[in-house]
Amino acid sequence: MKQFSGRTAVITGAGSGFGLETSRIAAQRGMNVVMADVQADALERAAAEIEGLGAKVLAQRVDVSKAADVEALGQAVEKRFGAPHFVFNNAGVGAGGLIWENTLADWEWVIGVNIMGVAHGVRVFTPMMLAAAAKDATYEGHIVNTASMAGLLNPPNMGVYNVSKHAVVALSETLYQDLRLVTDQISASVLCPFFVPTGISASERNRPANAPAAKPTRSQLIGKAMSEKAVGHGKISAANVAQFVFDAIEADRFYIYSHPKALGSVQTRLEDVVQARNPTDPFAGKPEIGAELRAALRAPA
pLDDT digits (tens, 9 = 90+) for 28-46: 999 999 999 999 999 999 9
Instruction: Give the length of the chain.
Output: 301
* pLDDT of 234 strictly over 80: no
* pLDDT of 150 strictly over 70: yes
Distance from chain centroid for Cα 76: 22
Q: Which positions ≥6 away from 290 have C-beta within 8 Å?
A: 281, 282, 283
> Considering only CA atoms, which of 191, 108, 106 is closest in space to residue 144?
191
Catalytic residues, which ones? 161
* pLDDT of 7 strictly over 70: yes
pLDDT at 135: 98
Residue, of 280 and 300, whose pLDDT is higher:
280
Residue, of 36 and 214, whose pLDDT is higher:
36
pLDDT at 301: 74
What is the side-by-side strand order in the sheet with 186-192?
A: 57-61, 32-37, 8-12, 86-89, 141-146, 186-192, 255-257
pLDDT band with cut points at 50, 70 and 90 for residue 298: very high
pLDDT at 232: 67
E strands, the chain, where? 8-12, 32-37, 57-61, 86-89, 141-146, 186-192, 255-257
Could you give the domains of the chain?
8-298 (3.40.50.720)
pLDDT at 112: 97
Mean pLDDT of 78-99: 96
Mean pLDDT of 1-7: 95
- Using a 10 angstrom Cβ sphere, with 0-12 exposed, 13-18 middle and 19 or more buried, the burial of residue 11 is buried
pLDDT at 174: 98
66-81 confidence digits (pLDDT tens): 999 999 999 999 999 9
Mean pLDDT of 166-171: 98
pLDDT at 215: 86
Mean pLDDT of 277-291: 92
- Using a 10 angstrom Cβ sphere, with 0-12 exposed, 13-18 middle and 19 or more buried, the burial of residue 258 is buried
> Considering only CA atoms, which of 182, 238, 249 is closest in space to residue 9?
249
- How far is residue 109 from each of residues 9, 16, 34, 170, measured CA to CA in Å? 26, 19, 24, 20
pLDDT band with cut points at 50, 70 and 90 for residue 197: low
Neighbours of 64 (CB within 10 A): 26
Please check whether residue 186 is in contact with residue 251, taking contact to mean a CB–CB distance below 8 angstroms.
no
* pLDDT of 297 strictly over 70: yes
**Mean pLDDT (the chain, rounded):** 93
pLDDT band with cut points at 50, 70 and 90 for residue 200: low
- Counting residues of the chain whose pLDDT is more than 70, the rounded percentage is 94
pLDDT at 227: 76
